[in-house]
Amino acid sequence: MLACKTMNPILSILIPSVPSRLWRVNQLISKLDHPQVEVLAFTDNKKRSVGAKRQALLEVARGDYVAFCDDDDTVADEYLAEILPRCESGPDVVTFEQDAEINGVHGRIIFDAACRVDEPWKAGGTARRRPWHVCAWRRSLAMEGVFKFCNYGEDAAWVAQVAPLAKTTLHIPKVLHYYRHSAETTEAPMPKK
């Protein structure tokens, strides 16, 4: 009998998406191509919420670590070179910094495991936040949280569940993730008021 060896990836990068953004997903996939990385995208015709897609991606990921990247965001060129070696040393979460652009205005986010309360985004300023879903989480720990099946706030609710569980962390003091949000181009359905 022949044994089939399947290498589990070190990191799974999870991308919720919609058909109109597949070209962006392909750009991310090409940027994240690495033998120790699994890139998974969930694309549908907007029948599932962002939270439902995040949860489904989390459940099928095989990497030792997981990190989310939205289809309108991107990562630094050195993203994998910085994160993969840190994952190999086994922390609960690998954190870093983020350039967060909202409607054309930039602010900086420092993901910090010692942070207990998320500071609001500051135009032109810096805010500290707990490690969010874009950070590299040990998959077994990430699975302790469940994403709510909604389009807004699913990320913050998940972080509230898992951040208190992280006991060990490694921080990379560099911008490795670029968050981009525009009220004019967002594909997420607006919440009903």
pLDDT band at 3 (very low <50, low <70, confident <90, very high): very low
Q: Does 78 score more than 90 pLDDT?
A: yes
User: In this predicted structure, what is the pLDDT of residue 187?
Assistant: 64
- Distance CA(183)–CA(190), nearest Å, equals 10
The sign of the dihedral angle between the CA atoms of 97, 34, 17, 137 is negative
Least confident of 73-77, 140-144, 181-185: 181-185
Mean pLDDT value across residues 109-129? 96
What predicted TM-score, i.e. pTM, was given to this entire model?
Answer: 0.91
Q: Return the percentage of the chain with pLDDT > 90, whole number.
A: 88
In 3-state terms, what secondary structure has residue 186?
coil
Q: Does 64 score more than 90 pLDDT?
A: yes
Q: Which of 72, 67, 99 is nearest to 83 (CA)?
A: 67
Q: Does 189 score more than 70 pLDDT?
A: no
- Distance CA(35)–CA(27), nearest Å, equals 17
Amino acid at 144: E
User: In this predicted structure, what is the pLDDT of residue 39?
Assistant: 96
